[in-house]
Structure 1
Amino acid sequence: MSRWMESLTCLVLGLAPLGAAPATDPPQVPLCMIGDSITWADQGDCWRRELLKHLPNLAFVGTHSARFGYSHAGEGGNSTARVLGRLADIPDCPNYSLLIGTNDNSIKDETKIEAHAAGTAARIVKIVEGLLAKPSCRKVLVSSVLPCFTDNPLRDRTNAATNRHLRPLLAALPADRVAYVDYETIIRATPDWEPLIKLHPTPEGYQLLAQILADALVKELGLTRPIAAPVPAAGAGVKVHNLWAGGADGVTDQPIIAGWYTLSFDLVAAGPAPVVTVVSADSQAAKQLAKSFSLKPAAAGTRVEVELFTEYEGYGYTRSPLALKLTDCQIARILLEKKRPSGKASTYGEGVYLDTLTPPAPGELVELP
């Protein structure tokens, strides 16, 4: 288990110890959203942003970062087999939302639809069983595979067939811990759904997905509307993992998952053309990262922060530890962290620590020391 995973596990397991005071009023509902690029890439963070409009008490948990800074456990290009392969890296959480399967189903032979769909459904159930085995898991909300509108109509038909196979398999699992969320029926009943959902939903499509999931969460978790926005208790904060180890000549403490990050540092000194470049530390990585940030010489003596997007894994980036190359400057107190919903850097710290000085943003998991 990586240090990142250890910190997440401690964070979630420490969310509400028996008899402990809640970190917010009303208490937050932690949710880990698992899936493929629908959960992560392009406009995927719109889903979480829209969910917060319905349920402001949600706190998103996960190893991955996205465009708006909400945590999750979706990974672009994932099939059911890929999720099974990284199940141990998905953090322990009381509540999961699982949407997976469409990347299994892009077949070209109509005669293979039923057999292929049955295999996809069986692997989804294996994922659910793995999530149920995590210590803190109370509820897994299993999404129907979404309808899709692509140049391969067999993919949409196989997704629908997967749902037909999946429903009876889920019925054999504990009804109080597993719930089926039927996106398919609602989406197909929506006039002109195709341009909203496509393969990856548009922002308007994510509004529909958020409404469906919010209604399911209210029903399955026994929530009562309206729900007030949580107010952090005195001394509460958000746990931060500073992924950087050492000074300017250091490297990250682990390979960095593709996504959005905030890099901040003290600009100790700067010449006329200061530049900080983030690079892959693994020279054997197939797709090397090299993102340069030109700094203002007048910023010397201040703290500087920049947003880093690694590019998508397998397309423009290969997972690797990261290092820095400096031109015409000196920096210190380096903080590399997953992007937060505020878009701002956390108060500086080393390793894993609780930032109680930066106000938590909606969707962030808040805890007490």
Structure 2
Amino acid sequence: MKSLKTTRLFVCYIPGMDLRRISPDNFPYVANLFGSYPWAKIKTLPSVELVPSLITGVYPHEHGIWQVKLKPRLNASFLDGILDRVPDIVTTTFQCVVHFFNQSFDLAAIPYRRRRAFDLKRFKYTRREKSKEILFRIGGVESIFSVLGREESIYVFNKKIKDLDSLLYRVCSGSYRLEFLELYALDILQHWNLDNPSRMKGFYTKVDNFVERLYKKCKTKGVILILLSDHGQEYVKGVIDIRKKLGGLDLSEDEYDFYIEVPMARFWFHTDRARNKITDMLHSMESGTVLSYRDMHRYNVKFEDKAYGELYFMAKPGYIFFPHDYYQPLANLFLGISDWQQRSRIFNPVHRGSHGYLPCSESEKGFIMILDNTYRVNRREVDIIDIAPSLLELVGYKRTPFMRGSSIFIQ
């Protein structure tokens, strides 16, 4: 419910802005803000897709965004049987072409014979970049944008660091209760350049200067600025070739299904033999942590069945899986050629920086800061689901019943 309060808010959401790298050397202006304004750490989730929980105020098992869900097993059709025999490089290349023209066609790098086993439950940035409408309801759950409506809120997406000057001109109109900018450029740059500190320092300077100019503009417009980051990034020091290890177990592909993200792999078993062999293999590896779907409940991922994954293998910080299910050689080449920010992937397709590890990892510590000293935070560490109700209450809306979190700001 809306009140008579007329506070206007600008949220500058910068995924990948790591608390450990916010220093006078990298981010001099932002570093100084930490000593001047109220802020709190954010406890997140073991996921690379945090925006759904960030803007709905509920956990993944409630909004349903958790990468993939295994379909009930059915006998393959005659056409499926034919397509399953087509070489993977052919089906994935065709799927990548389809994805280029239709962004709703997702996970194009997974071979058709495996992809058809899944219902896709993702919230890829490319979709919200193209259409803001998907932000209004996520998995049937309302978000801060649907609560505020189109007249009171606006979402802006940026993934190019060179566009910051023109971006500053376009944002912070002061016309909305809530303006929400996702500055995704830093996340992309760190994924592919974190191994080059001198180059990254230049990018950090650009972001730092942008924040300084944005704050000045907010003050002239009478708008309160919020700085928000839901994770940092860990420097990648090693890779796990889980497919190679699976290939050495003498198991048929019919005995299990798998899905490999950059920091996480998950499995579904159809025979006890596959369950025992793969579980034993994972427990023997020191580069990750084995978790059942019930173990994931400790991290607020509380699915009550195995449909979203029976067994998980979470890489330890600094390790990633490669190849993973987002990698396709020709698509990787195209992305490297078409986006200079990712140019390094042409020569080495392994991420340089990564995130999505267990929440206890330092790379998974986010933060929220309000640049207004008439407010204070009521706790030093908050949950990611506290962000949505906090933003709503700041602009004069009551926390809605479906939101699990609570407001963190006190005036």
Give TM-score, length-normalised by structure 2.
0.27
Higher normalized contact order (CA 8 Å, seq sep 6+, divided by chain length): 2
